[in-house]
Amino acid sequence: MLDQRGTGLSTAISQSSLQLRGDEKVQAEYMKSFRADSIVKDCEAIRKALTANYPEDKKKWSILGQSFGGFCCTTYLSFYPEGVKEAFLFGGLPPLRNNADEVYERLYERVKQRNEAYYAKYPEDVGRVHRIIKLLSRFGDTTVRVQGGEGYLSARRFLQIGIYFGKHGGLDQVHELVLRADTDLSQFGHLTRPTVLALETAQSWDTNVIYALLHEPLYCQGEASNWSAERLLEKYPEFSLKNIEEDKPVYFTGEMIYPFMFDCYPELRKLKTVGELLAQEKAWPKLYDAEQLQKNEVPTYAAVYLDDMYVDYDLSMETARTIKGCKPFVTNSMYHNAIAAKTDEVLKELFERRDDVID
């Protein structure tokens, strides 16, 4: 199992490690080398090194990717298919698009559906969320400070815990945090430090800055992301904080990146200029080769989740049809993290397709 570049023990990206590279322009330029196109080049170099003394018929390897790992697998099939024996993708068939706009339009619609499911299951949380937002906004965005004092828990930051809606048990995880925060308000009139820490722990942007910096650019080929999620937000009033005034539910957001994050997360605050430079960058190289995928000869198997909040089902199936010979397993009984939450079930389905024994 590889720690892809920028993660784990592979020269992990953090604010402090980026500063060692030079000024903001140098840092942004450096970050351009951490997308799928660079990752698969690493994989090929590793494969060749590992198999240098293997017989010719044993040099290919099988690859497996979850979520963004599946995006990397598709890049691998596009540019280095000669190194791959077979590919298994879990919630990871990427949209074959040149920017993030359509991806986020579809994402907003799916997150709306998950919010509807959440408030249907916990209708009392409409009022709880209102009370929490009012507290967080009492003196502007900086009412509640987070660990270290350099960042703050704004209302919009709080609503980002909706990212859990796409996982098994995610509705309940969000409810537990909402209930805990509202209980603090009822009993003490403020959020206690343990509750603020619980909310901080639920948000990984400070410890995974590469996620924030490259999430929108990872969709781009020759075009700028230009803060796609923020530009599209005005089309979806369900997510507006103003809904409190009209006594309407305020919807949580999902896997979206917003400019405000580079103001309220302590580590991201130090990378605001880098984030802006990457959002405006247009010179992103190709990630996928549709012509190569259409003549693909590598056996490819993909788990596709009908109700995947993070990776759009229709765009996934479009890509599955583009990859020649791709055999998808489609289900509405699993969510995006099935490889972790329902490992035996989803592996069984894909390996049955590999072994051609589903009949």
Q: Would you call 14 a catalytic residue per the annotation?
A: no
CA pair distance 352, 359, nearest whole angstrom: 9
Which residue is catalytic, options 125, 206, 308, 312?
308
Catalytic residue among 67, 78, 154, 228: 67
Q: Is the pLDDT of residue 147 over 90?
A: no
359 as an active site residue: the answer is no
Q: What tens digit of pLDDT does each residue of 237-270 get?
A: 999 999 999 999 999 999 999 999 999 999 999 9
At residue 150, the pLDDT reads: 86
Is 67 one of the annotated active-site residues of the chain?
A: yes
Structure tokens at 198: 């619980």
Q: What is the pTM of this model?
A: 0.95
Q: What is the mean pLDDT of the segment spanning 217-221?
A: 97
Question: Mean pLDDT throughout 131-160?
Answer: 93
Q: Which two tokens stand for residue 72?
A: 């990397």
> What pLDDT is stored for residue 134 in this prediction?
97
